[in-house]
Amino acid sequence: MTEGERVEDGPWLATILREYKRYGFLTAIDDFGAGYAGLTLLADFTPDFIKLDMALVREVNVSKSRQAITRGLLRICQELNIQIIAEGVETPAERDFFLYEGVTLMQGYLFAKPVFREISSAVTTSWPAPLHR
Tell me which long-range contacts 72-81 makes (C-beta under 8 A, separation of at least 24). Answer: 73/32, 73/33, 74/101, 74/102, 74/103, 76/39, 76/42, 77/50, 80/42, 80/46, 81/46
Q: What mean pLDDT do residues 54-77 have?
A: 94
**In 3-state terms, what secondary structure has residue 51?**
strand
State the CATH architecture for 10-126.
Alpha-Beta Barrel (3.20)
Phi, psi of 47 (to 5 degrees): -80, 175
pLDDT one-digit tens code per residue, 26-36: 888 877 766 55
Q: What pLDDT was estimated at residue 98?
A: 95
Tell me which long-range contacts 125-132 makes (C-beta under 8 A, separation of at least 24). Answer: 131/24
**pLDDT of 3 over the 70 cut:** no
pTM value is 0.72
From CA 17, how far away is CA 26, in angstroms rounded? 9
Q: Which residues pair with 107 in a beta bridge?
A: 87
From CA 115, how far away is CA 10, in angstroms rounded? 34
Q: What pLDDT was estimated at residue 34?
A: 65
Hey, where are the domains in the chain? 10-126
Mean pLDDT, the chain, integer: 80
